Amino acid sequence: MHGALQEARHVFLQESLVKDRLSEGHRTRILEVGFGLALNFLMTSHEAKNTSTAIDYVALECNLLNADQLRKMQYANFLNEYSLGDRFYRWREQFPDDMGPGVYEFQDGTLIKLTLLVGDALRAEPEGYFDAIYLDAFSPDANPELWTVDFLKKLAGLMAPGGCLSTYSAKGAVRRALKEAGLDVIKRPGPPGKREMLVAIRRA
């Protein structure tokens, strides 16, 4: 669990510059591709609370886990976010396990707003522009549809000028596809145990 959190902090919070933005007090819009176990959401919410800075977090997910499955991961406890975790899991309990396609909103106080776009990310239509994108789909081999030039172009079109996309993948094919999508791509040191990762910036 510690390794997963350390990796998520490095690749997403730090390298996407979300951590810097929040510590400077800038309200931040984040788009996540693949909400999964909610680790990145809880970790980013924790940082928002620590810095008293608001986040508007939009996440794309085709298969949202149920409350028990999310609770079992214990990520909220590991982050010492017992009450946020509790509110979030209870919120999830209102809906059926098999949450159909749609837009679902969770709000926690004035700092945290989550919009879950449940359904295929290829068809999702997030509104507005984002300061950061967490590209956390499964690997390009396992989840090729979320690493195509077309999909990355769609993400690039959702980035605010100067916005930053980060991903754990350092594959040459991903680097080339991000460039083809019109972004400036930079190789960065990966988290412990991983030599490299990528960030991609939309020119201001």
Ligand X SMILES: C[S@@+](CC[C@H](N)C(=O)[O-])C[C@H]1O[C@@H](n2cnc3c(N)ncnc32)[C@H](O)[C@@H]1O
Q: Which residues of 7-32 are buried (b: 16+ CB within 10 A; e: fewer)?
A: bbbbbbbbbbbbbebbeeeeebbbbb
With a CB cutoff of 8 Å and minimum separation 6, the contacts of 128 are 29, 158
Residue nearest to ligand X (CB): 36
With a CB cutoff of 8 Å and minimum separation 6, the contacts of 185 are 175, 178, 179, 198, 199, 200
Q: How far is the CB of 30 from ligand X (least distance, A)?
A: 11
Q: How far is the CB of 190 from ligand X (least distance, A)?
A: 16
Residues 137-176 that bind ligand X (CB under 6 A): 137-138, 143, 145-146
CA dihedral 116, 199, 184, 123 (to 10 degrees): -20
Residues 15-54 that bind ligand X (CB under 6 A): 32, 34-40
Nearer to ligand X, 82 or 138 (CB): 138
Q: How far is the CB of 204 from ligand X (least distance, A)?
A: 27
Q: Which of 7, 15, 81, 136 binds ligand X (CB under 6 A)?
A: 136
Residue reference for tokens 């412990």: 192
Q: How far is the CB of 119 from ligand X (least distance, A)?
A: 7
- Segment interacting with ligand X, rule: CB under 6 A, options 90-98, 130-138, 180-188, 196-204: 130-138
With a CB cutoff of 8 Å and minimum separation 6, the contacts of 98 are none
Decide if residue 11 touches ligand X (CB under 6 A): no
Q: How far is the CB of 121 from ligand X (least distance, A)?
A: 3
Chain contacts with ligand X (rule: CB under 6 A): 32, 34-40, 60-63, 120-122, 136-138, 143, 145-146
